[in-house]
Amino acid sequence: MPAVAVLYDEDLIDDSEGVSLTDVSDRRSYKRASMLLKANLFCEGRTVEGFVLDVSLNGVRLQLAEEVPVGTEIMMALAGSVHFGGEVIWRQGNIAGLRFHRQPEKVAEAFAGLLPQTCLEEGYA
- Residue 80's domain comprises 5-120
Q: How does DSSP classify residue 24? A: G
CATH number at residue 9: 2.40.10.220
C-alpha closest to that of 69 among 53, 91, 86, 51: 91
The answer to whether residue 95 is domain-embedded is yes
The answer to whether residue 75 is domain-embedded is yes
The answer to whether residue 83 is domain-embedded is yes
pLDDT digits (tens, 9 = 90+) for 94-111: 999 999 998 888 888 887
* Count: domains in the chain: 1
pLDDT digits (tens, 9 = 90+) for 49-95: 999 999 888 899 999 999 999 999 999 998 767 788 999 999 999 99
The answer to whether residue 125 is domain-embedded is no
